[in-house]
Structure 1
């Protein structure tokens, strides 16, 4: 599949849904990706996992940092290329393909920038099936693949190369370096051969993002319900249709953390929806429960929790809203849907379940929670 402007727009839109509130600003990412393919000497192609040569070197391209930083400090396409070429230098080898480490707004488009500048294809896969806030929260870590080397670059030209023991140490080292780089940085990690990528990556996620974006676009063009169109693809349900009553955000430590309170719309068709819902986030939306404050969190009030996916969409248009764009008065639909089965393993829940983030509740699948009152 040859990438064009419409495909970029559809991927950006759909990946922002799957990004669960994180992954960076899709608008600036789409502009940069379009400019990159326009300037490329040859078309940029998306290939399937099956088309990747077993012996070739593959490396993801991404940004690390708090999404709110990009509101004031625009990312630079040069720094992404610097990090990528620093990885080639560290490996002493040419990288044959790239791909997103996560499917989230801006981060799903960075590989297109790299591919256009390097003349290589983008693989239709990622390592999360969504967006997560920390470096070890990838299927590669679940499968025991090495993270090293890591390369980070900022817009000033600073480059750091790391050799962490694993993804956890990568996160510990890379996060404070990112803070010193101004709160966001380009990053490459988890270099691997094609044979390992095929075994560990989640295939078809860029295509899934594109199909979600296309469904939202078509629904709005035909005066249909765009949120329903998204739910048909992801296999989830609305938790609540409501209005944002309160939002608090803090940017520190390389993350944006906080919570949002959503009150059910009085004219909502579903009277079974909770009257109010609190959603907690750390870059991404992580947990939703009934009530009006964080103190209302309990196993009985739980509505959805990481690693399952939670998204906030505009009530009228189905447009996904990232955590840095949430504000008082927005009318939204809060939806939740299942994660990839790899995240429902014991290790997956240990790495990215609610307990890891400090929430004192046990993971329950979104299917079971919706049966008990989240519908």
Structure 2
């Protein structure tokens, strides 16, 4: 069911998006501030349910592209998302009837809301990842047959580039990554334009609602002095994600992080509070694989989420620092993200790992 999203919802949405961002996707709190600033004068945003869009609607996903470490220092001007939308509209000769997040995690949960505030367009309640991934072709849109190009990229100085690689999404990613690096490491993009019928066939449903529920759950649990992870597990159990497992609790003892090839890449090591066990997380923008004492406990596309052990606020890959006390969670992904087509697009082997995907609930039974 469609609903109105107001300023009072933004903090909870940003918190939930940071959880679903699995350490990446950009800082949603930066996006929240941008949306809040515009929303004060424009009013609430309409979030429309996937079942309520028409088959021939023209849906344009809008997002930010680049390494999260760059985005910490390089703030968008705020005009780029609509400029990217207009560029792809001009190229295709069609006018958007709605926008949708490409991913429900991180700042990219917020960018379409900013576009909605500035244009009056509704935002479709769904996305193409159910989390965050580092590369453009790593979407359910692509896995189920929607081409990503033509896409438009806009830099902070108004530079506008249209990339059209036909159905070759990996080449689109390669070209767009190089352009983004030359725009200073961050760009705003419009890609994977779709009809309403294609959105219903390929998108993960109601993930903005899910992010809002997750953020609200964590806040209300703290206010009620209830263990937030227990409350979060209860919320997740009632969704398509279903399963939550505590992978590790401990403190950060080492972070190796570099910005390379347009991505924030590296590893983080955690030491247990209660034993000599260690957790190692490997990330490329997002946390991809977790190993406890050399044994894999969770891999993409399942979510690996690092939460502050004291207040359960999510910690991003660029925010990891020595000495942080953390609770590390594994959260299952919906069935649509575990099909052979989906795993070929964003399973472990798509990132160069030899490990085969095994659901987190099977790796760590209750």
Farther-moved stretch of structure 1 (360-369 vs 107-116): 360-369
**The residue matched to 1:45 in structure 2 has which SS?**
strand
Kindly state the Cα deviation for residue 90 of structure 1 after the two structures are TM-superposed: 1.1
Kindly state the Cα deviation for residue 173 of structure 1 after the two structures are TM-superposed: 1.2
Alpha-carbon separation, structure 2, partners of 1:229 and 1:123: 27
1:203 to 2:211 alignment = no
After TM superposition, list the pairs within 5 Å mapping 1:1-375 onto structure 2.
1-40=3-42, 43-166=44-167, 167-234=169-236, 235-266=243-274, 275-291=277-293, 296=294, 301-371=295-365
**The residue matched to 1:77 in structure 2 has which SS?**
coil
Alpha-carbon separation, structure 2, partners of 1:307 and 1:142: 13
Alpha-carbon separation, structure 1, partners of 2:51 and 2:317: 35
Deviations 1:230-284 (A, max 9, x none): 2222331101111001011010111000011011112xxxx8xx81110000000
**The residue matched to 1:133 in structure 2 has which SS?**
coil
Instruction: State whether residues 305 and 363 of structure 1, in contact with CA within 8 Å, keep that contact through their aligned partners in structure 2.
Output: yes
Instruction: State whether residues 7 and 44 of structure 2, in contact with CA within 8 Å, keep that contact through their aligned partners in structure 1.
Output: no
**TM-score normalised by the chain length of structure 2:** 0.95
**The residue matched to 2:68 in structure 1 has which SS?**
coil
Instruction: State whether residues 153 and 188 of structure 2, in contact with CA within 8 Å, keep that contact through their aligned partners in structure 1.
Output: yes
Alpha-carbon separation, structure 1, partners of 2:213 and 2:12: 7
Alpha-carbon separation, structure 2, partners of 1:319 and 1:231: 15
Deviations 1:130-154 (A, max 9, x none): 0011111111111111212100001
Instruction: State whether residues 236 and 336 of structure 1, in contact with CA within 8 Å, keep that contact through their aligned partners in structure 2.
Output: yes
List runs of 5+ in structure 2 lacking aligned partners: 237-242
Alpha-carbon separation, structure 1, partners of 2:331 and 2:203: 20
**The residue matched to 1:288 in structure 2 has which SS?**
strand
Farther-moved stretch of structure 1 (222-231 vs 69-78): 222-231
Kindly state the Cα deviation for residue 227 of structure 1 after the two structures are TM-superposed: 2.1
Alpha-carbon separation, structure 2, partners of 1:82 and 1:328: 40
Kindly state the Cα deviation for residue 343 of structure 1 after the two structures are TM-superposed: 2.2
Instruction: State whether residues 129 and 205 of structure 1, in contact with CA within 8 Å, keep that contact through their aligned partners in structure 2.
Output: yes
Instruction: State whether residues 227 and 313 of structure 1, in contact with CA within 8 Å, keep that contact through their aligned partners in structure 2.
Output: no
**The residue matched to 1:129 in structure 2 has which SS?**
coil
List runs of 5+ in structure 1 lacking aligned partners: none
Instruction: State whether residues 104 and 208 of structure 2, in contact with CA within 8 Å, keep that contact through their aligned partners in structure 1.
Output: yes
Alpha-carbon separation, structure 1, partners of 2:364 and 2:234: 16
Alpha-carbon separation, structure 1, partners of 2:230 and 2:69: 29
Instruction: State whether residues 227 and 315 of structure 1, in contact with CA within 8 Å, keep that contact through their aligned partners in structure 2.
Output: no
Farther-moved stretch of structure 1 (28-37 vs 228-237): 228-237
Alpha-carbon separation, structure 2, partners of 1:100 and 1:115: 11
Deviations 1:33-78 (A, max 9, x none): 11121222x5321110011121110011100110010121112211
Alpha-carbon separation, structure 1, partners of 2:207 and 2:155: 28
**TM-score normalised by the chain length of structure 1:** 0.93
